[in-house]
Every structure is written in C-alpha cells, then in structure tokens.
Amino acid sequence: MFKVPFFLRRPWILLRDAFLDRDQPNLTRLREIQNPEAFLWAILPHAARTFSACIAMLPARQARAAAVGYLYCRILDTYEDLHPNPEKREQVLRGFGERLRNPPFHTAPPVPKDTNYGNRDLSHLLLVDRCHLVDQVFLTLPEEQKNAIRELVSNMAEGMAWASQRFREQKGALVGEDQLLQYCRHVLGNPVLFSIRLMQGKPASPEQAMDALKVGELVQLANVTRDIEKDLDRGVGYHEDLLPILQGERSGEHSTKTEVIRQTREQILRIALLRGDSYRRMVEGMNLPTWSLARGAAVLMFLFTDRYWRSCARRTGIPHWEGPKGALPILLHTLPAVISARWCDRILRRIERSFASVASTPTRS
C-alpha cells in the first residue's frame, strides 16, 4: 500500500504527532484520503492521542497491527460515548465485536448525528464512517495478528456492553471499586494483553496477564479522571460518589459539586498510582532484546502516563513530582531506551517511586 518503508516514515509520524493540534482536525483532508494505509496513519493521532506515537515507535510489522487494533477499539469507544440509546448501544457494541469473525464484513453501524459534537467527536465519527479502509489494512495482516485483533475487539466490545448495562441499571454510575476496575480491565487491560501478544508472538503468561490488567487499570483510570466533567454532562459517572450529581441533588451548589469532583478525582488517582510497579514488571517479563523499539514504545507510554498523573495531582491540589513535560522532551527521554535496558529500568523505577510516594501521602481533607 505504501512504497516508502515504514522505518523511513516513522520519524515523520513521531514528529507530526508531537505538534499536531487534535482539537482542529482537517476533516476535509481525512475524508479525501483513499489509500487505506495512508488513512490509517492520518486518522490515528486524532483517534489515539498519545497512543499514536507509541504505536509508531513499534517495529513495522507490529505497528500496522497495533494501529488497526487501536482504531477498531476507538470505534467501540465512539459507540460507547456517542450512541444515545443504551439498549441499541449494547447491541451495536456486541455486533461490532463479532463482525471481524464473519467475512465479508458488513458496514460499521453509523452513530446518530448530533449538532453538539465537538471536533474530536467529529473525527471519531469520520473513522466510523470510513471503517472499510481500516478493514482493508486488516485483511493484509498475517493470520495470527488477525486472530489477536478479533479476540481484542470481541472481548473489549463485550466488556463495554457489560458496563453500559451497569450504567443503565445503576442510575448512570458504576458502584464500588471492583466495578470501576473491571471496567478498566475490559477497556484497556485487553489492549495491553493484545500488545504483549504482538510483541512476543504468543499470548501473555498468567503472571504477565496479572500485571497487564493492572497496567490497563493504571492507564484507563487516567482517562476516567480526565473526563469526569464531560462524562457527567452525558449522564455517566464512573464512581458512585458522583451519583448525587447525576441525580441533580447538588445542581444548585456549584462549590459543593466542584469539591465532590475534586475528591473523586483524588481517590481515583491514588487507586491508580498504587499500580505503578506493575508496569516495570510487565516490561521486564517480555524479555526484550538489547536493541528494541518495543522497549522504547513501552517507556514512551509510561512517560506520557506519568505526565498525565502529574497534571492530575496538581489539579487536585496534592503533592506532585517533576518530569519531562512536552511531547518532544518526552520523546528525547525515550530514545536511549531503544538500545539500553538499563536506561529503561532507570526511567521505569523513577516513575514507580514517584507514584508510590504520592500514593502514600495523607488524603487532603
């Protein structure tokens, strides 16, 4: 599909992602792209945020499969976030989860249009509309990678449908830490397991799987805390303390509502940071070679995750820690890890210590 080798395109993709304005996607250009792989790499940064650079860091064979898998997962996210009818949403999620098992693939179900969609939502809807281009790249992948993607999409779809049903039955909120963590394992634990399978060429061991699911919790809890206000606006709360806000009990008390959200954000942050040690163990368990783009991608992902949790700590008013801030400094911190396992270990342990230190501080009253 592309004549230029991926290793020559990788630097451009990484630099592009570092400076791309995801709030102002060029939707006209994205609609005009007809080459399936060109569309894959053009839409990815608008669908994947920081994951886009991490995927581009991977070896070419794994990068294409990871990009396809992630875009299918983003389509599931779009159904979860934007489909207005809960029961039809669950049906659509499960249907999309099964579509890759039954070629020729039917058209991805559309999402009902709404005039209130923001630019990022519009880029995600465009991805749904042009899913057939992602399908064409999927069909070129080796059978083992296609099977891994089928399993990923099917498992994630079922998990999202489970969560949608819980929200519907529980007045819009997940109840208890167990439900919150189960949701995170479905939504990001499965992609982490998929990534390990891509890197190793085989499924994760039971020990790896335990760490991978905790890493999924660590990363997805970041998404949960970032979008609390946006999710409340669409009638969803991922923590039961947000239920009174969903029910309108505090609608006239702005300061109280703000404090409830702050306290909830802090609680979830502390739950997440306790999982920092799982990331290092997961990377160590893959036994990557001395020269490893996959190790660089893993460090890049942890540095981006660290940057988010630092910003979240500042937002909640609890002690925070230092680290590289911009996308370019983060990328420069990452590159030595490609050739140095010792550098990788140093970065992962530094972040792990920072997480553990903040998680152990007293809760702000």
Residue 252 has pLDDT above 60, yes or no: no
Distance separating alpha carbons of residues 255 and 247, to the nearest angstrom: 17
Q: SS3 for 237?
A: strand
Residue 93 has pLDDT above 50, yes or no: yes
Residue 80 has pLDDT above 80, yes or no: yes
> For residue 96, which of 35, 36, 152, 174 has the smallest C-alpha distance?
152
Query: pLDDT above 90 covers what percent of the chain?
Result: 77
Torsion of CA 230, 231, 233, 237, to 10 degrees: -140
| pLDDT recorded at residue 243 | 92
| pLDDT recorded at residue 255 | 64
| pLDDT recorded at residue 104 | 81
Neighbours of 179 (CB within 10 A): 18
Q: Render 162-199 in DSSP notation, one character per residue.
A: HHHHHHHHTTTB--HHHHHHHHHIIIIIHHHHHHHHHH
Residue 206 has pLDDT above 50, yes or no: yes
Residue 250 has pLDDT above 50, yes or no: no
Average pLDDT, stretch 206-219? 97
Query: pLDDT above 70 covers what percent of the chain?
Result: 96
Mean pLDDT (the chain) is 92
| pLDDT recorded at residue 63 | 95
Average pLDDT, stretch 121-130? 94
